Amino acid sequence: MSLNLERNSKWMEGSGPQADIVISSRIRLARNLKGMPFPNLMNEAQEAKVIQLVGQAIRTPGVFQAVGELKLMPLRELSPVERQILVEKHLISPDLAEGKGEKAVVLRDDEALSIMVNEEDHLRLQCLLPALMLHEAWRLADAADDALESELDYAFDQDKGYLTACPTNVGTGLRASTMLHLPALVLTRQAGEILTALTKVGVAVRGLYGEGTEAQGNIFQVSNQITLGRSEEEIINNLSAVTVRLADQEREARELLRKQSRWQLEDRVGRAYGLLTNARILSSQEALQLLSDVRLGVEMKILRGIDQRLINQLMVRIQPAYLQFAAGREMTPFERDVHRAAMVRELLAG
């Protein structure tokens, strides 16, 4: 299975509930195989065995009929740039991309469903959908999990639940998360206080690429911190409620900006659009920030004629690995900045 440069992941569609603020919803399930050491203790032969078992499971006739065809891709067959593209599309973690030994990823054609094999756990099953669709993502992830469990013997304890490498995932093994665009809360200096308060009620706040990353382009990921002692439904309902509340607070902040700083807001949006459609050199960080301002302008009807889907696609296409893959060669940072600016100009002008 080869990477398709033209394929856009399902989460990029830009439509659905709360899509003006919520970019995507993700459900991730951590699972391990009974009788096998956790990945950090496995040798390469054991890693290869896990990949073999997963490959056999997804190829079993009829097992995955409800969730669609899945294909397994050993990471050793991919170049570093191709691995990084999977990170940039939020399909695998940086740890999996950079890890040594036998590792793999399983993908559905629309990339709504992916499974990391031999990351922190033997299996990290993920469903990633656009907008606020946590319940829909859970149904798809649960169906895929049931299909896998019919073929694989999971490590499970009647009292503790699913056994995982990290104690914080023991229980349901479920992490639910949403990715939100919160520029108005940042501009009105409310984001710090609001997001800090979330950590006190069991919600983690991270950057664009998850744990250990900073928020870029005013994009934040919020997720549950507790998996033990709570049902999947409780976790998902709680995070959905938190996400809706954050979206409401962002809308309130946007209206405040419209009333109190209309000209400054329109000037900021206009300048961002002008730079993106005329710049000859753009770093990825600058491009993300300018895209954030343009996205805000689109969402507040200051700019018209720009598809939200295009902005989501640009979030990936401006990244270093994607640019190099599209060019078919390695590039220096300066070359990437020049190519990034040209690509953004072309797509926004089109």
What would the pLDDT profile of 211-240 be if each residue is shown by its tens digit?
A: 544 567 899 999 988 766 788 899 999 999
**Residue 179 marked as a ligand binder:** yes
Query: Does 226 appear as a known binding residue?
Result: no
Give the pTM.
0.92
Predicted confidence (pLDDT) at residue 321 exceeds the cutoff of 90: yes
Residue 283 marked in a binding site:
no
Ramachandran quadrant class, 159 (left: phi over 0; alpha: psi -120 to 50; beta: rest) = alpha
Residue 64's pLDDT band, with cuts at 50, 70 and 90, is confident
Decide if 4 is inside a domain: no
Q: In sequence order, what are the residues at sequence separation of 6 or more whose Cβ sits closer than 8 angstroms to the Cβ of residue 202?
A: 224, 225, 226, 238
Residue 73 lies in a domain: yes
Q: Is 266 annotated as a binding residue?
A: no
Please check if 92 is assigned to a binding site: no
Q: Please report which residue ranges of 60-133 form alpha helices under DSSP H.
A: 80-88, 94-98
Q: Does 211 show up as a binding residue in the annotation?
A: yes
Q: Is residue 27 part of an annotated ligand binding site?
A: yes
State whether 50 and 196 are in the same domain.
yes
pLDDT at 4: 67
Say yes or no: 191 and 318 in one domain.
Answer: no
3 falls within a domain: no
State yes or no: 262 annotated in a binding site.
no
Give the CATH number for residue 139: 3.30.590.10
Tens digits of residue pLDDT in 16-50: 999 999 999 999 999 999 999 999 999 999 999 99
Q: How many structural domains is the chain composed of?
A: 2
Residues 143 and 221 in one domain: yes
- Picking from 226, 252, 278, the residue at the C-terminal end of a domain is 252
Any known ligand binding at 245?
Answer: no
Q: Which of 60-74, 212-226, 319-333 has the highest mean pLDDT?
A: 319-333
Out of 252, 277, 308, a domain closes at 252
pLDDT given at position 212: 47
Find out whether 177 is annotated in a ligand binding site: yes
Q: Is residue 338 part of a domain?
A: yes
Tell me if 26 is assigned to a ligand binding site. yes
Q: Is residue 232 part of a domain?
A: yes
Residue 206 counted as an annotated binding residue: yes
78 and 205 in a single domain? The answer is: yes
- Sign for the pseudo-dihedral over CA of 126, 132, 136, 138: positive
Do residues 25 and 55 both lie within one domain?
yes
Together in a domain, 287 and 194: no
- 83 has binding-site annotation: no
Across the range 105-113, mean pLDDT stands at 95
Query: Per-residue pLDDT averaged across 283-295, rounded?
Result: 96
Burial 37-64 (b: 16+ CB within 10 A, else e): ebbeebeeebbbebbebbbebbeeeebb
Domain for residue 257, yes or no?
A: no
Residues 123 and 84 in one domain: yes
Q: Is the pLDDT of residue 243 over 90?
A: yes
Percent of the chain with pLDDT over 70: 95
Q: Is 40 in the same domain as 147?
A: yes
Q: Mean pLDDT, to the nearest integer, of 52-73? A: 90
pLDDT at residue number 213: 46
Whether residues 134 and 243 share a domain: the answer is yes
Which value, in Å, is the radius of gyration of the alpha carbons in the chain? Answer: 21
Residue 292 is labelled as binding a ligand: no
Phi/psi at 25 (5° precision): -125, 140
Burial grade of 139 (CB within 10 A; 0-12, 13-18, 19 or more): middle
Q: What is residue 104's predicted lDDT score, i.e. its pLDDT?
A: 97
Q: Is 212 annotated as a binding residue?
A: no
Q: Tell me the mean pLDDT in the region 303-330.
A: 93
Residue 132 lies in a domain: yes
5 Cα distance to chain centroid: 18
Question: Quick one: 211 and 310 in the same domain?
Answer: no
Are 189 and 274 found together in one domain? no
Beta-carbon-side half-sphere exposure of residue 20 (alpha carbons within 13 Å) = 15
- 209 annotated ligand-binding residue: yes
Domain boundary among 252, 282, 313: 252
Domain that holds residue 326: 262-349
Do 116 and 169 fall into the same domain?
yes
Q: CA-CA distance, 147 to 58, in Å (whole number)?
A: 8
| 350 pLDDT tier (thresholds 50, 70, 90) | low
3-state secondary structure of 154: strand
**Averaged pLDDT for residues 318-340:** 94
| Mean per-residue pLDDT of the chain | 92
| Domain contains 247 | yes
Give the pLDDT band of residue 7 (cuts 50, 70, 90): confident
